């Protein structure tokens, strides 16, 4: 019997701050569950024909947020998949409501110090450009944690390797299944 079949019935949406591993964990999770993987940031870039950095610089953050909202609404119409969202997506009330109605949402959470260390390895995030990552993340946590708290599940990742987080997520999903699900 296919023990992951019950986990493939709905899209699994990963939410949380920058650097927590939504894309890396999401890709591995999709692999493990044999589901397609979609990365909302990459889909926004494809739809706009430019990088997120260029979207912010040339069109501004509101245009990015609008594109993000539209792209996620479109992805949620697709058959079940693992969806890595950008850090700000679940903060938009419309997007959050849509994700909550069409997917199982999982908040990946880690200490801000861990995230700050990780995000310095990549310079493709316009919200961090020229700023102290820990300060940006602290301010985001303050504003965003209440919204992330509305996710169906929370997985505390600590500083664990991504494959460990994938196991935690699978366990959390199994625990979340209604009792008696095949
Ligand atoms: C953002 C997070 C980024 C990307 C954009 C804005 C945010 O995605 O969507 O730079 O507002 O937190 P990641 O969380 O995948 O880095």
Nearest to 86 by CA among 25, 35, 16: 16
The model carries a pTM of 0.96
| Residues near 117 by beta carbon (within 8 Å), at least 6 away in sequence | none
Is 26's C-beta closer than 6 angstroms to any atom of ligand 1?
A: no
Asked if residues 26 and 120 have their Cβ atoms less than 8 Å apart, the reply is no
The confidence band for 3, taking pLDDT boundaries of 50, 70 and 90, is confident
Give pLDDT, residue 51.
96
The confidence band for 179, taking pLDDT boundaries of 50, 70 and 90, is low
pLDDT above 90 for 120 = no
The rounded Å distance from CA 172 to ligand 1 centre is 24
How confident is the model over 58-106, as pLDDT tens digits?
Answer: 999 999 999 999 999 999 999 999 999 999 999 999 999 999 999 999 9
The rounded Å distance from CA 41 to ligand 1 centre is 7
What average pLDDT does the chain have? 95
Residue 52, SS3 per DSSP: helix
Structural tokens at position 88: 């700000």
Is 133's C-beta closer than 6 angstroms to any atom of ligand 1?
A: no
The confidence band for 181, taking pLDDT boundaries of 50, 70 and 90, is low
Protein residue closest via CA to atom 2 of ligand 1 = 87
Question: What percentage of residues in the chain have a pLDDT greater than 70?
Answer: 97
pLDDT above 80 for 33 = yes
Is the model more confident about 46 or about 121?
Answer: 46
The confidence band for 155, taking pLDDT boundaries of 50, 70 and 90, is very high
Longest dimension (CA), the chain: 52
Give the DSSP per-residue string, 115-163: HHHHHTT----GGGTTS-HHHHHHHHHHHHHHHHTTSSEEEE-TT--HH
Protein residue closest via CA to atom 9 of ligand 1 = 86
Is 40's C-beta closer than 6 angstroms to any atom of ligand 1?
A: no
pLDDT above 80 for 152 = yes
Is the model more confident about 177 or about 172?
Answer: 172
Nearest to 111 by CA among 83, 79, 134: 134
How confident is the model over 160-175, as pLDDT tens digits?
Answer: 999 999 999 999 999 9
């Amino acid at each position: 019997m296919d023990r992951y079949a019950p986990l493939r019935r709905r899209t699994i949406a990963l939410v949380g701050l920058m650097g927590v591993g939504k894309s890396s964990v999401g890709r591995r999770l999709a692999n493990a569950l044999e589901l397609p993987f979609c990365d909302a940031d990459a889909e926004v870039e494809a739809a706009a024909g430019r990088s997120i950095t260029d979207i912010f610089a040339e069109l501004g953050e509101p245009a990015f947020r609008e594109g993000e909202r539209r792209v996620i609404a479109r992805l949620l119409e697709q058959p079940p998949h693992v969806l890595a969202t950008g850090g700000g997506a679940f903060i938009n009330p419309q997007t959050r409501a849509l994700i909550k109605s069409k997917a199982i949402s999982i908040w990946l959470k880690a200490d801000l110090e861990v995230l700050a260390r990780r995000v310095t390895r990549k310079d493709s995030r316009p919200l961090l450009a020229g700023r102290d990552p820990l300060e940006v993340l602290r301010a985001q946590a303050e504003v965003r944690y209440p919204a992330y708290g509305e996710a169906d599940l929370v997985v505390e990742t600590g500083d664990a390797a991504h494959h460990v987080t994938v196991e935690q997520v699978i366990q959390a999903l199994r625990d979340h299944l209604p009792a008696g699900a095949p």
